[in-house]
Amino acid sequence: MTTTPDRTRENNEVLSELLRIVSLPTPLHEMLDAFLEKLLSLSWLDLLHKGGIFLYEKDIRGNDILRLVVERNFSQHLSQICAEVPFGRCLCGRAAASRQVIHASHVNAEHEITDASTLDHGHYVLPILDGDQVLGVLVLYLPSGARKNVTQVEFLERCTAILYLAINLQRKTLQLETSNRELEFQKQTLDEHAIVSIADRRGDIIYVNDKFCLISGYSRDELLGHNHRMLKSGEHSPAFYRELWRTIASGRPWHGEIKNRRMDGRYYWVQATIVPFMDKAGKPFQYVGIRTDITDRKLIEEAMKQAQTVAHLGSWSLDLVEDKLSWSDEIYRIFGLDPKHFGASLAAFIDCVHPEDRDYVTQQYQGSMAGLFPYDIQHRIVRRDSGEVRWVHERCLHLRDNEGRVIRSDGTVQDITERKLTEEKILHLAMTDSLTGLANRNQFKHRFEDVLHLAQREHKLLAVLVIDLDKFKPINDTYGHHVGDLVLQAFAAILRQHSRETDVVARLGGDEFALLLVNPDTSAVAGRIAQRILDTLATPLPIPGHELMVGASIGISLFPTDGKDEDTLLQKADLALYESKSCGRNAYTYYRPELKMPEL
């Protein structure tokens, strides 16, 4: 039997080794594999040398599942049936769903996933939690009949806390790698660029790796036992550090950029992730920091800002003490002003702002001066030379005196008209059917919502016509997609012909169309328009080189008689459409309560 001193020594050795495994920049699978192997080697737990670690993810249907990542001594069959475990199923799924430790002395009815060849056994199943979020599950096998041991459970919960840290650190490591790929450091592995330290609850350094020593310029002996304050650069305010400590002291990881000072006085920037280790009382007792050197990126960003200001941006500076405004030449060009005839003044600037945007610009500037939000806005201007309306993007920063009053504002103005036009074109493409020029399903949905709200508010009538072309597939198959496309375009023109500008005409997909009649005089109008469409289709379509006949089946539903929302109205129009099809096609049908969807 293992004595208490031996057990304590063994526990400490295992915990130290687990912490070492966590701090190493190894792939997640390898880390978890080493973690499980070390845990199963602890003799006083009386475990069978068998267990596994599952990680949380969602399957292709969006359901919460546990995926088996590493295991020890699972049979091939057990590994296969345990590869994916839904939340709530078997012991592992129940531990994940309940966020509670589960103990079992024997294989019982709750073992929904079993290997028939396995002898009777027990389990410890522990959820790996990040607050209330499940990261995974640790499952360990016990001899048959083994009772629950509180000391064992407490120790294993500490181990799952380390697993939580390991998983989180690995995820943050991937984020750091992505950030460094943007800096063209993507060929370096985390081991080549990670700067790692561990601090106690006071912030005193108890561990640093070689890269920490290299970037800071201090030796390991000069760092250990000292506080991270020795690296302060003076760049960040006391409020910055208070927020950092408030975050990690509450048990939440902190992410951000920090400027530090080397021993030789030079400065460097790091992208940092600081993760707290929590004790049994839920209080942090250690903080692990993983950092990436982003000094080069910061220098590049500063150079890019300067280059953009010179090449693309107009700059301005407003001295509120002297009431003096200065502009760069680029602002005169953006506003269409002649520097010989217009001096830089607030009145001249406001005069160039589009009349509909002036109040907004003024409110945003005043709000930024009050510290409510940053001044980072887009608005329209009217060029003084041509009267052309253009879009600009403005930003500014405020310089304050010791009492917090703004004494100067420095900002930039960038002409973004081309970008706005591109965005509008993209939006148009996203909302329009490219073949027919009609609204697509997305635009139809948005327009439907707007029209429906208006009809509800003003107690107006709406009619929904859902239309399927009859005999379209044989045309497509016989004459090819080119002729089929011409048929769809011709039919779209017919729908436009029989609708008003206020109505919504859409192609929902394939040969399915919809027509939303806004505020018709009576419900009978929908039937008359449907009949006009059918009458127009009674003659061949104007397709070059072909005389092609198609028909249409039309279903009609009415607001508010048949439904109060979009889904209900479309569903009932579809039921009426199927009735038209079942009655021989080339007809229209109003929805009636007795209509049912035909069985397949």
User: Which residues does the annotation mark as catalytic?
Assistant: 511
- Cα dihedral sign, 478-483-489-493: negative
Phi-psi group of 15: left, alpha or beta (phi > 0 → left; psi -120 to 50 → alpha; rest → beta)? alpha
Residue 331: phi and psi, rounded to 5, are: -65, -40
Continuous segment of H or E residues that includes residue 23: helix 4-23
Tokens of 123: 């389990």
Instruction: Say if residue 479 is exposed, middle or buried (CB neighbours under 10 Å; 0-12, 13-18, 19+).
Output: middle
For every residue of 380-392, DSSP letters joined together read: EEE-TTT--EEEE
Cβ–Cβ under 8 Å, residues 172 and 273: yes
Collapsing DSSP to helix, strand or coil, 377 comes out as: strand
- Please tell me the distance from the alpha carbon of residue 185 to that of residue 177, in angstroms, as a whole number: 8
CA distances from 194 to 111, 261, 281, 426, 538 (A): 43, 18, 30, 41, 74
Cα atoms found within 13 Å of the Cα of residue 230, Cβ hemisphere only? 16
What residues form DSSP beta bridges with 140? 51, 124
**Tokens coding 552:** 């249409």
Inter-residue contact 164 to 135 (CB < 8 Å): yes
Both tokens assigned to 118: 């396995």
DSSP output for 172-234: HHHHHHHHHHHTT-TTS-HHHHEEEEEEETTSBEEEE-HHHHHHH---HHHHTTSBGGGGB-S
Residues with Cβ < 8 Å from 354, sequence gap 6 or more? 379, 380, 381, 382, 389
